[in-house]
Each structure stands twice: as structure tokens, then as C-alpha cells.
């Protein structure tokens, strides 16, 4: 079919009538489908059930460095867990600090610490007139929720195929002392699935911030979450690049096993310079005497090493890959060439990013909901929930079955077509 923009009003009205009949048929089925969040499916969770059998009442509960994991202590985590998460983060073990079960929790804690205590002796952010954060968009809604919670002003930075617009980042960071941080998902970004180029990473490492307590919040949520063995994005390791550039303290790297083992029951860690980790530990020492070492121990014994983790992630990929391919197949077949939307084709991560015609995203999500499909709210991928173009929609294929995804994708494309036709008729 021709692009919708080239169709006559009569043809658009005829097409609309035909599509509305299809939509009413689907609506009449009373479906309940959910593509709203990047939750692992039951099949993925089942992959880690062996974790439940690793430790029992007869197990040796002493770590390899002689720590009785049932007791208090070891603020920075048992050495085996530090080694595993350091390898996952591609940093030396001395640069890793183990936390609890959630990297989002670590990010919240890190911003809270900066607000109340400052970073490495700097003025606490809460005592400053203005604090700003750079936010590559579209991006991760929970990142933006943290900075909004603390009343930090957020500035949109366009996310290009190579990463954030670094010309804009360099200018704002170097000129404005109120800019204290930037949110980044550098690999298989949420929601676009893009990975930062080597040049982007090097430019990050060479930033010259006006604020000495400026930090790059580098959320490595999808560092080993590939969909294909033979097509993998590889990015430069930022901490090492920062050391080489003479900025060893400029980055906080966050990582967890949440989408590797069990979400909510994994291990999270902060990777940073030793000076940053000492600063974090001083704060942590008032919060806890040590995190859950039994959970650390069972993860180490289940995965053993990074090779074990890679093998495990291949099983995740085998479950996820057909789901991504199903969504892309329907989008290509139903919307290809119509010029009413564009979408990403990620090689990993948990999302596909869809851009509709300007001013259509909210209406598309609402239309899909009418037919029983719940999606991430339009605007969620921007600070304050405000997408200036009202065009970006995050598609999360992980939770439904492939069969459910085919139905969900068809509801979605129907919604896109109907809303786009209305937009063109009212232009």
C-alpha cells in the first residue's frame, strides 16, 4: 500500500471504516494483554529455580574467604560475590561494592547521599540553590522518577544512534556548575535498544565539568543481555577510560543480577573509584552491618563465574529472541512503507522503541487499551512524563507468550493505523 500521507481523503475514510470494523471485532473478544513493563516471563524465571536448591540446612555456609554468611559483617560483600559482579561490570574487584537486591535502590541511595551528605566532601546538594541533571531521551522512567522525587531539575538531551548528543552534554556540563549528573543506560538502552559508540564513551571520560562533584550515573542494566550470539553490541568500559583521561572519580556504574536471576532477589553493586567507594561505605555503615551474604553465596555457587553467567544468559536469549522477532515481523508487515511510524531493531535488552506521527502516542496507547492491551504510558520515557512531540511509545515484549504477542502486536498496529488516519483527516 502507498504511504498514508499520499492517500486521498476518500481513500482514508474508506480505510478507516474497514479498520474500525476489525478493531470492534478484536475489542469484542474481551482480551487482557500486558506489554507495559520489562518483566521477565515465567519461563525466564524458571531458569533460575536451581538457586533455591543451592543452599539448605546441611550446606556449608562459609564463603571461600572464610566468612560465615549467616552472621553480621562484611560491609562490602563476600569476596566471591565482589569478583563475580566485578567481572560482570568489567572492573577490578577493588572497584566494586556489593549492595542489596536492586540497582535502582543503589541509584536512589546514591542521589539521597549526595543530597544530604554531598559527594566526597562537596556541599550537600540540598543546600544548593539549584541542582540539575541531564536526561538522555527517550529514557528510563524510573531514573527520571528519582531525580523528580528529590526536586532536581531535569534537562532533556536527545539520544542519537551513537548515544546522547555529546555536543550538548559537553557544553552544559562545562558551563553550568548546577549540572551535577547525567542518567545513562549505555548498552541496549531503555527504551531504544541503542548502545553508545566508542567515541561517545571517550567523550564522556574526557568531560570537563564545572562542578567537581559531577557524576555520570552509568546504569549497566543490560550489559550481558544479548539476543543473538553472532550479533552483539560491545561498548568501551567507562571507568578505565575515565582513569586514562585523568577523571577517575567521575563515574558511578550500577549493575545487578535482577534480570539474570530473580528480579527483586538478585545482587546489586556499585562500581567506581576507590575514593568514591570509601565515601559510599561511610554512608552505608550507618544503614547496615552488611547485606544478605547468603544470597550472595547462593548466586556465586549457582553461576560459579562469568562463563556460567554467559551460559545462563543464552537461555534467556532463546526465550526472548522469538518475542522480539514476532513484534518486529508484525510491525514490518503491517506498518512498513506507510510512513506513520518508525521503530528500533535492538540486538539486546528488553524494549523496542516506537515513534508515531507527532501528537499521536497518547491516543495510540489509549486506543490499544480499549481493545484490552496495556502498554507503558505515553510520555513515560521523558522527564515529568512529558514527551514534547507526543510520539514515543515503549514496547515491552518480554512478559507475554509469543502467541499473546502476535495478538498484542496486531492490536497495536490497528491502533496506530486508526489514530494516524484521524490525524491525517484532521490535518
Contacts of 133 by beta carbon, 8 Å cutoff, 6+ apart: 147, 152, 153, 154, 155, 179, 180, 181, 182, 183
Domain check: are 249 and 333 in the same one?
no
Domain check: are 137 and 212 in the same one?
yes
Last residue within a domain, chosen from 304, 320, 342: 304
Last residue within a domain, chosen from 287, 304, 321: 304
Domain check: are 278 and 391 in the same one?
no
Residue 55 domain-assigned?
Answer: no
Q: Please give the grid coordinates belonging to residue 253.
A: 556504574
Q: Please give the grid coordinates belonging to residue 120.
A: 566526597
From 216, 211, 203, select the one nearest 253 (Cα to Cα). Answer: 216
Domain check: are 133 and 238 in the same one?
yes
Give tens-digit pLDDT for 72-96: 999 999 999 999 999 999 999 999 9
Residue 192 domain-assigned?
Answer: yes
Give tens-digit pLDDT for 95-142: 999 999 999 999 999 999 999 999 999 999 999 999 999 999 999 999
427 — pLDDT class (breaks 50, 70, 90) = confident
Domain check: are 341 and 193 in the same one?
no
Task: Reply yes or no on whether the pLDDT at 289 is more than 90.
Answer: yes
From 88, 118, 109, select the one nearest 267 (Cα to Cα). Answer: 88
Contact (Cβ atoms closer than 8 angstroms) between residue 44 and residue 316:
yes
C-alpha count within 13 angstroms, C-beta hemisphere, residue 158? 8
What's residue 3's pLDDT?
Answer: 96
Number of domains in the chain: 2
Distance CA 78, CA 139 (A): 33
Task: Reply yes or no on whether the pLDDT at 1 is more than 90.
Answer: no
**What is the average per-residue pLDDT within 195-220?**
98
Residue 361 domain-assigned?
Answer: yes
Residue 50 domain-assigned?
Answer: no
Contact (Cβ atoms closer than 8 angstroms) between residue 95 and residue 310:
no
Peptide bond into 191 cis (omega under 30): yes
Residue 153 domain-assigned?
Answer: yes
For residue 117, give Cα distances in angstroms to 16, 216, 286.
Answer: 59, 18, 12
Q: Please give the grid coordinates belonging to residue 209.
A: 565539568
CA torsion, points 67, 70, 74, 80, in degrees to nearest 10? Answer: 60
Residue 52 domain-assigned?
Answer: no
Q: Strand pairing of 215-219 and 179-184?
A: parallel
Distance CA 7, CA 11 (A): 6
Mean pLDDT (the chain) is 97
Domain check: are 32 and 76 in the same one?
no
For residue 348, give Cα distances in angstroms to 130, 184, 230, 280.
Answer: 37, 16, 12, 31
Give tens-digit pLDDT for 213-269: 999 999 999 999 999 999 999 999 999 999 999 999 999 999 999 999 999 999 999
Task: Reply yes or no on whether the pLDDT at 40 is more than 90.
Answer: yes
Q: What is the CATH number of the domain that holds 78?
A: 3.40.640.10
Domain check: are 412 and 329 in the same one?
yes
Domain check: are 70 and 110 in the same one?
yes
Last residue within a domain, chosen from 245, 279, 304: 304
What's residue 234's pLDDT?
Answer: 96
Distance CA 297, CA 396 (A): 32
From 369, 346, 347, 365, select the one nearest 356 (Cα to Cα). Answer: 365
Residue ranges of alpha helices (H) inside 41-183 are 42-46, 51-54, 79-89, 103-116, 141-149, 166-175
Domain check: are 279 and 351 in the same one?
no
Four-residue CA torsion sign, 168, 173, 177, 181: positive
Residue 18 domain-assigned?
Answer: yes
**Strands, E assignment, 282-345:** 341-343
Q: Work out the angle at residue 330's Cα, subtended by the Cα atoms of residues 329 and 335, and round it to the nearest 5 degrees.
A: 110
What's residue 150's pLDDT?
Answer: 98
Domain check: are 225 and 320 in the same one?
no
Contact (Cβ atoms closer than 8 angstroms) between residue 190 and residue 349:
yes
Q: Strand pairing of 179-184 and 163-164?
A: unpaired
What domain range includes position 115?
A: 61-304
Contact (Cβ atoms closer than 8 angstroms) between residue 88 and residue 293:
no
**What is the average per-residue pLDDT within 325-333?**
98
Residue 49 domain-assigned?
Answer: no
**What is the average per-residue pLDDT within 171-178?**
98
Domain check: are 386 and 320 in the same one?
yes
Distance CA 94, CA 82 (A): 8
Q: What is the CATH number of the domain that holds 353?
A: 3.90.1150.10
What's residue 115's pLDDT?
Answer: 98
Q: What percent of the chain clears pLDDT 70, i.e. is strictly above it?
A: 100
Domain check: are 284 and 199 in the same one?
yes
Give tens-digit pLDDT for 150-165: 999 999 999 999 999 9
Residue where the block lists cell 568501551:
236
From 196, 181, 114, 174, select the one nearest 144 (Cα to Cα). Answer: 181
Amino acid at each position: 500500500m502507498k504511504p498514508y500521507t499520499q492517500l486521498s481523503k476518500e481513500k482514508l475514510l474508506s480505510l478507516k471504516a474497514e479498520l474500525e470494523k476489525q478493531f470492534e471485532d478484536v475489542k469484542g473478544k474481551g482480551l487482557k494483554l500486558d506489554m507495559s513493563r520489562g518483566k521477565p516471563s515465567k519461563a525466564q524465571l524458571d531458569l533460575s529455580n536451581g538457586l533455591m536448591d543451592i543452599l539448605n540446612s546441611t550446606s556449608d555456609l562459609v564463603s571461600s574467604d572464610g566468612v560465615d554468611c549467616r552472621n553480621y559483617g562484611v560491609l562490602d560483600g563476600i569476596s566471591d560475590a565482589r569478583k563475580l559482579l566485578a567481572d560482570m561490570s568489567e572492573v577490578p574487584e577493588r572497584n566494586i561494592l556489593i549492595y542489596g537486591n536492586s540497582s535502582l535502590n543503589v541509584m536512589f541511595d546514591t542521589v539521597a547521599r549526595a543530597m544530604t551528605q554531598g559527594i566526597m566532601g562537596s556541599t550537600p546538594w540540598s543546600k544548593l540553590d539549584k541542582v540539575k541533571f541531564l536526561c538522555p531521551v527517550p529514557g528510563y522512567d524510573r531514573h527520571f522518577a528519582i531525580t523528580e522525587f528529590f526536586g532536581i531539575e531535569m534537562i532533556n538531551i536527545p539520544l542519537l544512534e551513537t548515544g546522547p548528543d555529546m555536543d550538548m552534554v559537553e557544553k552544559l556540563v562545562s558551563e553550568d556548575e548546577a549540572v551535577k549528573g547525567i542518567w545513562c543506560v549505555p548498552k541496549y538502552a531503555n527504551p531504544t535498544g541503542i548502545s553508545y559508540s566508542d567515541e561517545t564513551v571517550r567523550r564522556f571520560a574526557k568531560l570537563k565539568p564545572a562542578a567537581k562533584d559531577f557524576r555520570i550515573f552509568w546504569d549497566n542494566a543490560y550489559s550481558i543481555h544479548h539476543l543473538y550470539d553472532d550479533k552483539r553490541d560491545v561498548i568501551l568500559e567507562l571507568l578505565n577510560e575515565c582513569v586514562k583521561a585523568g577523571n577517575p572519580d567521575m563515574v558511578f556504574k550500577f549493575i545487578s543480577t535482577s534480570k539474570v536471576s530473580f528480579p527483586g532477589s538478585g545482587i546489586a553493586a556499585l562500581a567506581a573509584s576507590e575514593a568514591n567507594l570509601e565515601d559510599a561505605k561511610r554512608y552505608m555503615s550507618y544503614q547496615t552491618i552488611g547485606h544478605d551474604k547468603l544470597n550472595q553465596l547462593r548466586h556465586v555457587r549457582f553461576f560459579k563465574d562469568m562463563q556460567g553467567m554467559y551460559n545462563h544468559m543464552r537461555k534467556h536469549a532463546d526465550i526472548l529472541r522469538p518475542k522480539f522477532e514476532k513484534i518486529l515481523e508484525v510491525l514490518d508487515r503491517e506498518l512498513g512503507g506507510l510512513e506513520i511510524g518508525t521503530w528500533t531493531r535492538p540486538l539486546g535488552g528488553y524494549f523496542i522503541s516506537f515513534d508515531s506521527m507527532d501528537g499521536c502516542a497518547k491516543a495510540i496507547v489509549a486506543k490499544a487499551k480499549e481493545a484490552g492491551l496495556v502498554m507503558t504510558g505515553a510520555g513515560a520515557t521523558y522527564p515529568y512524563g512529558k514527551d514534547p512531540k507526543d510520539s514515543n511509545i515503549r514496547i515491552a515484549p518480554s512478559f507475554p507468550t509469543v502467541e499473546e504477542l502476535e495478538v498484542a502486536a496486531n492490536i497495536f498496529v490497528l491502533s496506530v493505523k486508526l489514530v494516524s488516519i484521524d490525524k491525517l483527516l484532521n490535518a
